[in-house]
Structure 1
Amino acid sequence: MPTQAALYARVSTRDKEQNPETQLLVLRDWAERQGLEPTEYVDHASGKDLNRPAWQALARDWRNGKVDVVVVLRLDRAFRSIVDMHNCFDEWEGRGIRFASITQPIDTATATGKLMVNILAAFAEFEREIASERIREGQARARKEGKKIGRAKIRLSSERAAKAVEIHGGNWADAAAKLKVSESTLRRRVKNLGAKSIVAS
């Protein structure tokens, strides 16, 4: 049975221009040259934690014995936290799963690769902390200058909310998406109007 490789790609939610194919093309080529049987997992999510749909699917697969090696383009595509990284590495080691970051000298099959994992993960977390600190400093400066922080509030009347639900045949999710508000906000607006005749789908 060929070695099963999990090719993991992640693009940030902040940059809409990113395309995971950029990572996947390189990962596929590497897997082919290694003679591995690839399965692809792609997330459009922040890397701040591991609560990402594709990553969770990958975790289920490696726990079910369907993965022999986890492959990423760069370490920060998988991890931004040293704690998360070590937790996964401990689990993978116990299951005999290898990890490789193909644009960095990282391959847990080697002692040098294991050392580089720790060094690069420390830099990734440091970089994230610096970025967070800059954001907090910018917000503090904005408050001092009397500027409002956060998303602009969407003005939505109860009448408009109820009309949107009616137009979408009582489908709250579709109406909320159309109005660009959360479903809970939409329900509150309709409740304020006392629109008891609207039935949720």
Structure 2
Amino acid sequence: MTIYGYARVSTTDQDLTIQQQALQAAGCQVIRSEKVSGTSTAGRKELQTLLAFLQAGDVLVVTRIDRLARSIADLQTIMHTLKDKGAALRCTEQPVDTTTAAGKAFLNMLGVFAEFETNLRRERQLEGIKAAKERGIYTGRKSSIDPERVRQLKDEGIGPAEIAKRLGIGRASVYRILSAGS
């Protein structure tokens, strides 16, 4: 039986040290860490490596469930993988131990709250953007396309495909600008 640890933070300026120390204290023999968003399992190479190495009787340890997954769907997928391999999950800061019925129940509740927290954060962000737009503060990303240059090239007799190629933009953008100027 091997005890694997997994530590994750969302941004490169966050520190993994506290999680790594907690995982060492929990007896993890191998610890994999990464700095990547937890809203999806896509692009989480260290997690995928751990899941590939787990065998029957092994234990995956995280400090908190939100370090592992922030959506019920991702958590369930990870849990199915662990179950299929005969591995268990434990948390150092939460009463989660999937070798017990109570631990499994608590795991599901924490998964719901992790997803809820992610959804609340997204709603607050969208509300902030909407309020900033209403105040004229948030205008979005500045356009990287010069409409006048597109029209100038068209007036020179250059076709939309060539304009797009020269300016490094999509043909649809060229057509959009040309139809707006008509």
Q: Secondary structure of 1:148's partner? A: coil
Q: Partners of 1:66 and 1:109 in 2: how far apart?
A: 13
Deviations 1:146-183, CA, capped at 9 Å, x for gaps: 223456679xxxxxxxxxxxxxxxxxxxxxxxxxxxxx
Matched, 1:135 2:131: no
Matched, 1:54 2:46: yes
Return closer, same or farther for 1:70/1:152 CA change in 2, 3 Å cut-off. Answer: farther
Provide the residue aligned with 2:115 in structure 1.
125
Q: Secondary structure of 2:26's partner? A: helix
Matched, 1:8 2:11: no
Question: What residue identity is the alignment partner of 2:50?
Answer: L
Q: Secondary structure of 2:15's partner? A: coil
Provide the residue aligned with 1:99 in structure 2.
89
Deviations 1:21-75, CA, capped at 9 Å, x for gaps: 11111111111xxxx6x1111110111011212112222223xx39811100011
Matched, 1:39 2:30: yes
Question: What residue identity is the alignment partner of 1:47?
Answer: G
The alpha carbon displacement at 1:91 in A equals: 2.0
Q: Partners of 2:127 and 2:39 in 1: how far apart?
A: 19
Matched, 1:69 2:59: yes
Percent identity for Structure 1 against Structure 2: 34
Matched, 1:30 2:26: yes
Is the 1:8–1:71 contact (alpha carbons within 8 Å) kept by the matching residues of 2? yes
Q: Partners of 1:7 and 1:41 in 2: how far apart?
A: 6
| Structure exhibiting the larger radius of gyration computed from Cα positions | 2
Question: What residue identity is the alignment partner of 1:145?
Answer: R
Unaligned 5+ runs, structure 2: 145-165, 169-182
Question: What residue identity is the alignment partner of 1:25?
Answer: Q
Return closer, same or farther for 1:90/1:143 CA change in 2, 3 Å cut-off. Answer: same
The alpha carbon displacement at 1:135 in A equals: 0.5
> Normalising by structure 1, what TM-score?
0.66
Count of aligned residue pairs for this structure pair: 148
Q: Secondary structure of 1:41's partner? A: strand
